[in-house]
Amino acid sequence: MAINLEVPRKHAGLVDQAHQLAMNMLRPISRTYDRAEHEYPKELDMLAALIDGVSATGATSGAGAGGVRRDKPSDASGAGVRNGANLASVLSIAEMCWGDTALLLSMPRQGLGNSAIASVATEEQLERYRGTWAAMAITEPGTGSDSANITTTAVRDGDEYVINGEKIYVTSGDRADSVVVWATLDKELGRAAIKSFLVRKDNPGLRVERLEHKLGIRASDTAAITFTDCRVPAEDLLGSPEIDVKSGFAGAMATFDNTRPMVAGMAVGCARASLDLTRDLLEQAGVTVDYDRPAQVQSAAAAKLLQLEADWEGARLLMMQAAWMADNRRPNSLEASMAKAKAGRVGSDVTLSCVELCGTLGFSEAELLEKWARDSKILDIFEGTQQIQQLIVARRLLGLSSSELR
C-alpha cells in the first residue's frame, strides 16, 4: 500500500483555515488566558460554532472523530487508500497548536474523551452521543502511566453500573459536559476487564474536587474528580460489555492508538511556532539560516536551528504515518507510540532550545517562546510518558508481552 507523506490536496483548505484561525483568533488571546488560569476563554464559543458548521457540511469529521476502527480494512493493493478524519485531525491540530495548545485543549466538543467515543463506541452510541463534549478520565492517584492498573470499579446492578473511584489530571474535567471514565469490571481478571463509560457531569455521585495549578497549558482546566456510588445506565458502557480475556486490553488501547497521534500533532504545532519565531528573531539579529549550505560552515546558532528543524520533520512524518494508518484501518499501535515518543521529546527539546537561542528575549514574556516551552512539556507526559512509549515500542519490535518486558 502506497503512502505519500505530504498534505493531501483534499485537506489543504482545512489546514489553511486552521492556520488562519490560529493566527487571528488564538495567538492574540494566548497570553491573556495563560495569565488568567482557569478562566474560560469565551472567544472559543464562536470558534466552536464555526467548526460545527464546517463539520455539518461534511468537509471534515472534526478532531479525532474518525477514531481507530478496523472493521473494514482498506484494499491492500492500494485501491482503497484514503486520507480521512484522523489525518485531517492531526494536521489541523498541529496548525491550531501553532496558535496555542491550551486553547486548543479548551475547545468545546473537542475533548480527548470524544476520541475515546469515536474509537470504541457502537454505531448506535456514536449517534446518541453526537454533540457531547467529553473529557477523558484515566489517571488515578496510585496509577499513572500503567493504565492497566486502574482501581476505579464499575459493578453491574440491574440496568446500571455503579462506579466508585478517583481520577486526577482530567483535561477539561470541569468544563466538559460528560466524562469518559475508565474502570474495571473485575479486578481478578486484570486488564481485560477494563472498560470505559460515558458519565454525564450532572450525574449524582460525580464530583469535581479541585482544579490543578500547572506549569503550562494554563488556559486548559485540569481537574480531580471522584465517583461515589455513581450510577450509570448500562447502555453507556462504550462498546461491548463482554470481557474477552484473549483480546486483553486491546479494546481500551484502541483509544490511545487514536489520541497519541493527536498529542504528537500538538507537540509538532507548538514546536513549529517556536522554530518560526526563532528564525525571525535570529534574522533580526543578523543570523541568517542558509538551507543550501552545510550546517558546519554556518554559525553555531544557524547550525542548531537546522538540527532542530530536521528533528521536527522526523516527528511530523511519524505523526502523519500513524494517522494515515488509522484512516486506512491498519494496526497502528507501534506507529502511534513512535509518533508520540518522538514528537513529545522533540517538542520539549525544540521549545527549550529556542528559548536558549533567543537569550533574554526567549526567557522573558516579551515573546511567547517561554510560554511554548512551558506548554510543550505536558505533551511528553500525558497520554503515556516518554519512557512508557519507548517500552511499548520495544515490546512491539521484540514481540514480547508486558509481563516479559517491564
b/e sequence 38-61, b meaning 16+ C-beta within 10 Å: beebeebeebbeebeeebeeeebb
Mean pLDDT of the chain: 90
The domains found in the chain, sorted by start residue, are 1-406 (1.20.140.10)
Nearest residue to 351 via CA among 97, 111, 103:
97
386, HSE (Cβ side, Cα atoms, 13 Å): 14
Q: What is the band of 142 on the pLDDT scale with cuts at 50, 70, 90? A: confident
pLDDT at site 249: 64
Tell me the longest C-alpha to C-alpha distance in the chain: 73
242 is catalytic: no
Residue 175 has which C-alpha cell? 468544563
Q: Mean of the pLDDT values across residues 182-211?
A: 94
pTM listed for this prediction? 0.92
pLDDT in tens, 358-389: 999 999 999 999 999 999 999 999 989 999 99
Q: Which residue in the block uniquely carries the three cell numbers 469515536?
A: 118
- Catalytic residue of the set 166, 367, 383, 404: 383
pLDDT at site 300: 97
The partner residues of 143 in beta bridges, in order of sequence, read 140
Residue 44 has which C-alpha cell? 472559543
Q: How far apart are alpha carbons 392 and 406 in whole angstroms?
A: 9
Residue 268 has which C-alpha cell? 509538532
Residue 59 has which C-alpha cell? 468537509
Instruction: Report CA-CA distances (Å) from 13 to 20, 24, 54, 88.
Output: 11, 16, 12, 10
Lowest mean pLDDT among 72-76, 110-114, 124-128, 272-276: 72-76
Q: Mean of the pLDDT values across residues 321-330?
A: 92
On the question of pLDDT at 59 being above 60, the answer is no
